[in-house]
Amino acid sequence: MRQLAIIGGGFMGAAMAQGLVDAGWRRESLVIAEVREARRFFLQEELKVPCVRNAREAAAEASTVLFAVKPQDFASAMANVAPVFTREKLAISIAAGVKIAAIEAALDCAVIRCMPNTPAAIGAGATAIARGKHANDSHLMTAFNILSAVGKTIIVDEAQMDAVTAVSGTGPAYVFYLAEALIDAAMAEGLSREQAYALTYQTFVGAAQLLQHDPAGPEELRKRVTSPNGTTHAAITHLQANNWAGIFREAVRRARLRSEELGRQ
């Protein structure tokens, strides 16, 4: 019996497998189910993790099954593996918008729903997990440990998942969009493309590391670099005058509403 079967060898499935291997999991304790032959070959060569074509075969021999397929493929993936599922298995889903109740109805087992984000691919993800009605503390910690292999993990109620999606699930795109804007602004002020990229990238990396290591928090860190009537003050004052924070809050709200809408479909 393997510890974990990963259904889907795409971007997130591969990231999960790599994170677990890096965290010390034995490769033989994992199996990835992937229908694309070229992708299976790539995963076996790169990760040295067993790969099979048949998801049902993979699920049958694992105590925990992690579904890393796209939301539109989730129903067919569950239908495929349902005949080999028992109450003793744990199903972990990272499919956006798929409710715990739908998974429980299809598989009749313990379910943990997760919302990771794309930095999980480099072990720097932010993930929230929520348990279903059949999942006990042991199931929750199993999922917590698996997802913690690819970054920071927190426990939430499923009712909070749409907000999580709007904050950390969508969050990397907010950062990338701001980086785009700063690069464009840098070039407009006379820097070359290479200079703009180099300074922007390092500014984001350095600021994120400072935020992580300094307990003062974002507001205090911002105030420290904002001298009265200085350059930062001029920039922040312009953003505040144009309700930048309000615009951003509305963007997050709309992401949350869209997540709720997708969950009803």
| Span 113-137, average pLDDT | 94
pLDDT of residue 65: 97
Q: Class of the 2-161 domain? A: alpha beta
Mean pLDDT of the chain: 94
pLDDT for the residue numbered 232: 97
Percent of the chain with pLDDT over 70: 100
Place of tokens 């509403």: 257
pLDDT per residue as tens digits for the range 213-265: 999 999 999 999 999 999 999 999 999 999 999 999 999 999 999 988 888 87
- Whether the CB-CB separation of 30 and 63 falls below 8 Å is answered with no
In this prediction, residue 136 has a pLDDT band, given cuts at 50, 70 and 90, of very high
What whole-number distance in Å separates Cα of residue 224 and Cα of residue 215? Answer: 13
Predicted pLDDT at 199: 99
Indicate the DSSP class of residue 191. -
Residue 96: what pLDDT?
A: 84
- Tell me what pLDDT residue 100 has: 95
Strand ranges in 133-239 using DSSP code E only, listed in sequence order: 151-155
Percent of the chain with pLDDT over 90: 85
* Average pLDDT, integer, range 53-67: 95
Taking the model in full, what pTM does it have? Answer: 0.89
Q: Which two tokens stand for residue 163?
A: 């907000």
pLDDT digits (tens, 9 = 90+) for 156-177: 999 999 999 999 999 999 999 9
DSSP 97: T
Q: Which residues contact 169 (CB under 8 A, 6 or more apart)?
A: 96, 115, 116, 117, 259
The answer on pLDDT for 2 being more than 90 is no
- Whole-number Å distance between alpha carbons of 11 and 14: 6
| pLDDT over 90 (residue 105) | yes
CATH architecture, range 171-264: Orthogonal Bundle (1.10)
- pLDDT reported for residue 183: 99
Taking the CA atoms of residue 210, residue 211, residue 212 and residue 213 in that order, the dihedral angle to the nearest 10 degrees is: 50
* Closest to 169 measured CA to CA, from 99, 46, 70, 259: 259
Q: What is the mean pLDDT of residues 114-126?
A: 91
pLDDT 10s digits, 176-215: 999 999 999 999 999 999 999 999 999 999 999 999 999 9
Instruction: Tell me: pLDDT of 144 over 80.
Output: yes
Specify the pLDDT at position 63.
Answer: 94
Average pLDDT, stretch 18-40? 93
227 Cβ neighbours under 8 A, 6+ residues apart: 233
Taking residues 107-126, report their average pLDDT.
Answer: 92
Please give the pLDDT value at position 263: 81
Tokens 């480099």 map to which residue?
122
Domain residue spans in the chain?
2-161, 171-264
